[in-house]
């Protein structure tokens, strides 16, 4: 099981929609090229700065909009967790299905400066800013979701249990 995540934070504001994560024209590109367009409209060059192990911290209503594979793109860039004041329900479930931990966490946006290190304890529902020492409470993820995340997403979980043929 994934117990604790730590990473450098990147901050994004309110109402970040899936169109910003993956613009419509990028959907015509092969899957492996789509991540380079992530946030290109509102934060050009960000994909060249983000590193595997980083964490997104966002405001309210993160992931609103269409059901584009924004969570998949974020995960492919190496983002290991999303913390936001609130997360669109469909986007939250897409995050889990792609193996990207996502937690609504009231107070998170004002508790971090970009570049601070976040420690996220999924089972305990605890977020700590390791730079300031500030501790925030969030809802602990239930075992079922932790199992999906630990497997790397819903498809790998079902494949591992023999309930789905392995993707070719």
Give residue-wise pLDDT tens across range 116-162. Answer: 999 999 999 999 999 999 999 999 888 999 999 999 999 999 999 98
CA dist 126 and 76 (Å) reads 25
Helix (H, G, I), strand (E, B), or coil: what is residue 41? coil
Give 1's pLDDT tier (boundaries 50, 70, 90): low
Give 68's pLDDT tier (boundaries 50, 70, 90): confident
Count of all residues that appear for the chain in the document: 168
> Residue 17: what pLDDT?
95
Give 166's pLDDT tier (boundaries 50, 70, 90): confident
Query: What's the distance, Cα to Cα, between the start and end of the chain in Å?
Result: 26
Please, are residues 38 and 10 in contact by the beta-carbon 8 Å criterion? Answer: no
pLDDT digits (tens, 9 = 90+) for 8-50: 999 999 999 999 999 999 999 999 999 999 999 999 999 999 9
CA dist 140 and 126 (Å) reads 8
Domains observed in the chain: 4-160 (3.20.19.10)
**DSSP code at position 125:** T
Write the CA distances from 13 to 72, 97, 155, 162, integer angstroms. 20, 24, 31, 41
**DSSP code at position 162:** T
> Residue 168: what pLDDT?
56
pLDDT digits (tens, 9 = 90+) for 95-123: 999 999 999 999 999 999 999 999 999 99
Of residues 47, 99, 46, 51, the one with CA closest to residue 71: 99
Q: C-alpha 108: how far from its chain's center?
A: 14
Does the global pTM surpass 0.85? yes
Write the CA distances from 115 to 49, 72, 74, 106, 111, integer angstroms. 11, 23, 17, 19, 12
Tokens 């169109």 found at: 19
């Amino acid at each position: 099981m994934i117990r604790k995540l730590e990473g450098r934070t990147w901050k994004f504001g309110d109402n970040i929609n899936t169109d910003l994560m993956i613009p419509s024209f990028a959907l015509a590109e092969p899957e492996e090229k789509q991540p380079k367009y992530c946030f290109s409209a509102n934060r050009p060059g960000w994909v060249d700065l983000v590193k595997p192990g980083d964490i997104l911290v966002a405001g309210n209503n993160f992931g609103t909009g269409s059901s584009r594979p924004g969570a998949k793109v974020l995960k492919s860039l190496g983002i290991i967790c999303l913390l936001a004041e609130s997360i669109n329900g469909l986007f939250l479930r897409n995050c889990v299905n792609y193996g990207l931990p996502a937690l609504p966490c009231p107070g998170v946006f004002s508790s971090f400066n970009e570049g601070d290190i976040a420690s996220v304890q999924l089972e305990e529902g605890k977020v700590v800013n390791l730079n300031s020492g500030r501790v925030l409470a969030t809802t602990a993820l239930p075992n079922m979701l932790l199992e999906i995340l630990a497997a790397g997403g819903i498809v790998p979980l079902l494949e591992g249990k023999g309930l789905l043929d392995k993707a070719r």
